[in-house]
Amino acid sequence: MARLQRTTTVRLLALGLAACAAPRSEPLPSPAEASKPAAEAPLAAPPEANVHGGAIADAGPGAPPRGAAAAAQVAADSVATDPVAEVLALPPSHSRSLGGPDSGQLQGAVALPERGPGFIHNPRRPHDARHGTVELVQAIVRAAAVVERELPGSGLVVNDLSLPEGGPIAQHGSHQNGRDADILFYSVDTRGRPLPSVGVPIDPEGKGWDFKDLSTPVDDVRLSLDAPRTWRFMQALVEVAGEHLQRIFIVEHVRTMLLEQARRVRAPRAAVERFALVSCQPGTPHDDHMHLRFFCAPDDIAEGCLDKAPIYPWHKQALAAQGLEAVRETWKDRRARRAQVAARTTTREQARQRAQRKWGKLHKRVRDFLELRESWAKKTTPARPYCR
Ligand SMILES: [Zn+2]
């Protein structure tokens, strides 16, 4: 039974066909041990986590509070007992991101709560990688809450951010200083009903398969990208993160679908343009999740936070207004960590062998899908090169 609980992404990752923004010259990161929440895990936030509703104020024993002082006390108590409110109350100076995404560390890390309004941290990820900077974690929490409020009934599944102190992390080249996050796409079944996201690769038609057991087609589940919710999350993220958001790594065809959705709902032009600017397909396809990267926060730059390209003009200007300048992570910075990262990852060939041992013969639909998938892993829209 254990193997039936393994996820599609695990299995496809096990074939070395997905990886997360690792430098292309390095071995591909190894398969994620798990990429979906337990099937029974509810995605809706428990009432006590709902900082926007009245549940918190109603939850306390005794008579309802009266007056401003009592209201303030209730608010303070809420922060003290609600991890989501606690995270949202933190000042930017709480966290410090040091070094670069491929060579850094994290101090004063903020843990993404296990769940909150409209999101869940994937409990089946193999390590405690739900830590980030204040800016990153707050933006994810806020954007997920917007989707929950406007398009309720589903939930964002968040995979890895960084380890509690940052540094090298298995299966990733970056994610080292609290400014990277992997987010699964919202998905729906064939009738358009929300499905818990399992990290299924999405094809150019916007569809995917949760193959479950890779050796038999009987348990395959067809699903589609939930473009309305995924776009709504993107719009909210762009808006709440503002100048902090640097990159969204995402396969080109899903990017195109999200831009089409933005047009359908007449999304605000500024958000659409910013999304279009910062999103791109990296060398590895990112067809089963998107990878967010945030810039160094201004107060971290002086402490040694390093950015990677591109440093957009609007970011330069925002920094210049504070008398700051972005500092780039160099090859030398990254080289020191390369050996460590390589030792913690698995080559594509090792991953293939492992999958072979585990599953034996893959059924035809899986083989066909993987072959098809190679086409978009290699090609992107000619006018848009890979992002670097
Ligand atoms: Zn990633």
Q: What is the average per-residue pLDDT within 175-195?
A: 97
Q: Which residues pair with 290 in a beta bridge?
A: 183
Residue 17 pLDDT > 50, yes or no?
Answer: no
Helices (H) and strands (E) in the chain, counts: 13, 15
Query: In the predicted model, is pLDDT for residue 19 greater than 60?
Result: no
**Whether the Cβ atoms of residue 201 and residue 18 lie closer than 8 Å to each other:** yes
pLDDT band at 385 (very low <50, low <70, confident <90, very high): low
Report the C-alpha gap between 252 and 286 in whole angstroms.
9
> Highest mean pLDDT: which of 16-20, 49-53, 175-179?
175-179
The mean pLDDT of the chain is: 80
- Compute, in angstroms, the gap from residue 21 CA to the centroid of ligand 1: 6
Return the higher-pLDDT residue of 307 and 384.
307
**What backbone torsions phi and psi does residue 60 show, to the nearest 5 degrees?**
-75, 155
Strands 119-121 and 194-195: unpaired
**Closest-CA residue to 282 (of 32, 23, 28, 9):** 23
Query: In the structure, what pLDDT confidence band is assigned to residue 288 with cuts at 50, 70 and 90?
Result: very high
Distance 27 CA to ligand 1 centre (A): 15
Please tell me the predicted confidence (pLDDT) of residue 171: 84
The pLDDT value given to residue 71: 59
Nearest to 226, CA basis, from 250, 191, 252, 251: 191
Residue 56 has pLDDT above 50, yes or no: no
In this model, does residue 304 exceed pLDDT 90? yes
Work out the percent of the chain whose per-residue pLDDT is above 70.
73
Nearest-angstrom CA–CA distance, 365 and 220: 9
**Distance in angstroms (rounded) separating the CA atoms of residues 7 and 365:** 16
- Among residues 135, 185, 146, the alpha carbon closest in space to that of 290 is found at 185
Residue 304 Cα, ligand 1 centroid: separation in angstroms? Answer: 22
pLDDT at residue 29 in the model: 26
- DSSP lists the bridge partners of residue 264 as none
Distance (Å) from CA 70 to ligand 1 centroid: 44
292 CA distance to ligand 1 middle (Å): 7
DSSP element (H, E) containing 240: helix 227-241
The CA distance from 51 to 144, in Å, is: 13
Q: Reply yes or no on whether the pLDDT at 94 is more than 50.
A: yes
Q: Nearest CA to 15 among 2, 25, 34, 28?
A: 28
Q: Whole-angstrom Cα distance, residue 275 to residue 253?
A: 14
pTM of the complete model: 0.80
**From the CA of 243, how far away is ligand 1's center (Å)?**
20
Out of 29-33, 228-232, 374-378, which region has the weakest mean confidence (pLDDT)? 29-33
CA 262, CA 22: separation in Å to the nearest integer?
A: 29
- How much distance in Å is there from the Cα of 79 to the middle of ligand 1? 30
The pLDDT assigned to 95 comes to: 97
Q: What's the CA-to-centroid distance between 172 and ligand 1, angstroms? A: 7
Mapped onto helix, strand or coil, the DSSP state of residue 95 is coil
Q: Ligand 1 centroid to 160 CA: how many Å?
A: 7
Tell me, in angstroms, the distance from the centre of ligand 1 to residue 12's CA.
Answer: 16
| CA 1 – ligand 1 centroid, Å | 29
C-alpha 156 – ligand 1 centre gap (Å): 16
3-state secondary structure of 188: strand
Q: Which domains does the chain have, with CATH numbers?
A: 2-47+74-378 (3.30.1380.10)
Dist. CA 323 → ligand 1 center (Å): 31
15-33: average pLDDT: 33
Residue with tokens 């038609």: 205
Highest mean pLDDT among 13-27, 123-137, 332-346: 123-137
CA of 384 to the centre of ligand 1 (A): 21
Distance 76 CA to ligand 1 centre (A): 35
- Burial class, 388, CB count within 10 angstroms (exposed 0-12 / middle 13-18 / buried 19+): exposed
Is residue 271 pLDDT above 90, yes or no? Answer: yes
| Bigger pLDDT: 348 vs 251 | 251
Ligand 1 center to 102 CA (angstroms): 11
Cα 203 to middle of ligand 1, angstroms: 19
Question: Residue 22 C-alpha to ligand 1 middle, in angstroms?
Answer: 8
Q: What is the pLDDT of residue 375?
A: 84
Confidence band of 343 (pLDDT split at 50, 70, 90) = low
CA of 174 to the centre of ligand 1 (A): 7
- Decide: residue 49, CB within 10 A, 0-12 exposed, 13-18 middle, 19+ buried: buried
